[in-house]
């Protein structure tokens, strides 16, 4: 394998993946990204031009995808509409990108006999009760809650069908909530960090008791590289680093790390259909592929993330007012 096609490589996880590929492997990368509001050319700054190129285009453009898949050896498919709150305001782009975009990738890898790794989310499994001892595993039935997670579930099922019906060589991973640099400021952690930089109190949906299972983006991406190398076609791997925390705990920690007073947040309208808890059992990835997370200390990873947003205001500033106006319109 010499050249990867990375869809959504100008987004949060995809851009961190491209940086990791350049640093840790000899592979070259072609990024296909539509540069929606969530994509940022600057996230690819500093990468060597002889190893990384960016094609601005739509993953649902079958002709374009066909020609890029033909020119590369394997595809890592990150491109998606990724934000639950946006999917509640306007679901349509989620169907176009997450469903039709994945279809276009599948048809191209089928035609050209290329390997695919499909990036998905733990949200396809729905949610768990706060006091449930269970965690999600590869055997948990799909039960998505939102337009976002239902389109991701649909995309996973398409991949499984193309493996079974057409013999496409593909793996799937379903990861828990990522944090780290270059995450769009609409998302929970960067929204609160940039609010505090602006002297605005963090906003907790509802009572703030919902639990997310946090993983550093570099740990997610190291697992993706491992699956690409050693994963078995047709298999699904759950990725998670035992990082369960409720939203109030995360906000309290951000306040502390940014030198603000305890309790300096406010409660805002809850998300409709808000999933209560996600929790991942990553035993299969650990035992079959030997993966272990490197960023076991959430607090130091969060402190480094805060520093990144402080040092890179130019990366996020232009988006801030519009993001907050959209939230304010929903009482959030």
| Residues of this chain that bind ligand NAD (CB under 6 A) | 7-8, 10-14, 32-36, 38-39, 58-60, 78-82, 97, 101, 119, 121, 152, 175, 177-178, 184
262 is catalytic: no
Taking the complex as a whole, the smallest distance from the CB of residue 282 to ligand TDX amounts, in Å, to 15
Give the residue closest to ligand NAD by C-beta.
11
Nearest to 204 by CA among 270, 145, 159, 149: 270
Which of 40, 82, 150, 171 contacts ligand TDX by CB under 6 A?
A: 82
Taking the complex as a whole, the smallest distance from the CB of residue 134 to ligand NAD amounts, in Å, to 19
In sign, the C-alpha dihedral spanning 318, 321, 327, 332 is: positive
Give exposure, 262-294, as e/b (b: 16+ Cβ within 10 Å). Answer: eeebeebeebeeebebbbbbbebbeeebebebe
Taking the complex as a whole, the smallest distance from the CB of residue 223 to ligand NAD amounts, in Å, to 11
Residues 203-242 interacting with ligand TDX (rule: CB under 6 A): 203-205, 210, 212
- Cross-strand bridge partners of residue 3: 28
d(CA 135, CA 281): 6
CB nearer ligand TDX, residue 82 or residue 155: 82
DSSP secondary structure letter of residue 260: -
Contacts of 226 (CB under 8 A, 6+ apart): 285, 289, 290, 291
Nearest to 77 by CA among 56, 104, 52, 50: 104
The yes or no reply on residue 121 touching ligand TDX (CB under 6 A) is: yes
Taking the complex as a whole, the smallest distance from the CB of residue 137 to ligand NAD amounts, in Å, to 16
d(CA 198, CA 302): 18
CB nearer ligand TDX, residue 118 or residue 203: 203
Q: Which two tokens stand for residue 312?
A: 């890179």
Q: Which residue out of 123, 186, 219, 324 is catalytically annotated?
A: 123
252 is catalytic: no
Taking the complex as a whole, the smallest distance from the CB of residue 278 to ligand TDX amounts, in Å, to 7
Residues of the shown chain interacting with ligand TDX in the complex, contacts defined by CB under 6 A: 82-84, 121, 123, 177, 187-188, 191, 203-205, 210, 212, 247, 271
Catalytic residues, which ones? 122-123, 148
């Amino acid at each position: 394998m010499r050249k990867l096609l990375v869809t959504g490589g100008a987004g949060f996880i995809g851009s961190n993946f491209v940086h990791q590929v350049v640093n840790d492997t000899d592979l070259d990368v072609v990024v296909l990204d539509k540069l929606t509001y969530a994509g940022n050319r600057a996230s690819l700054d500093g990468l060597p031009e002889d190893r990384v190129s960016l094609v601005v285009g739509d993953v649902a453009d079958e002709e374009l995808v066909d020609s890029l898949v033909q020119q590369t050896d394997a595809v890592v498919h990150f491109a998606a509409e990724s934000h639950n709150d946006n999917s509640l305001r306007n679901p349509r782009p989620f169907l176009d990108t997450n469903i039709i975009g994945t279809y276009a990738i599948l048809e191209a890898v089928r035609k050209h006999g290329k390997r695919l790794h499909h990036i998905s989310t733990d949200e396809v499994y729905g949610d768990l009760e706060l006091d449930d001892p269970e965690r999600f595993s590869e055997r948990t039935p799909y039960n998505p809650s939102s337009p976002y997670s239902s389109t991701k579930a649909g995309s996973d099922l398409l991949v499984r069908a193309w493996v079974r019906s057409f013999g496409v060589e593909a793996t799937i991973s379903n990861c828990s909530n990522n944090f780290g640099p270059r995450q769009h400021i609409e998302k929970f952690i960067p929204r609160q960090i940039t609010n505090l930089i602006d002297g605005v109190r963090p906003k907790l949906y509802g009572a703030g008791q919902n639990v997310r299972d946090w993983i550093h983006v570099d740990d997610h991406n190291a697992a993706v590289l491992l699956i690409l190398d050693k994963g078995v076609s047709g298999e699904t791997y759950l990725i998670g680093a035992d990082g369960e925390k409720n939203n109030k705990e995360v906000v309290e920690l951000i306040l502390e790390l940014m030198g603000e007073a305890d309790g300096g947040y406010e409660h805002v309208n809850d998300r409709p259909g808000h999933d209560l808890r996600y929790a991942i059992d990553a035993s299969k990835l650990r035992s079959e592929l030997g993966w272990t997370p490197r960023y076991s200390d959430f607090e130091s990873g969060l402190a480094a993330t805060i520093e990144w947003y402080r040092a890179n205001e130019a990366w996020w500033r232009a988006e801030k007012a519009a993001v907050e106006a959209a939230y304010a319109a929903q009482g959030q």
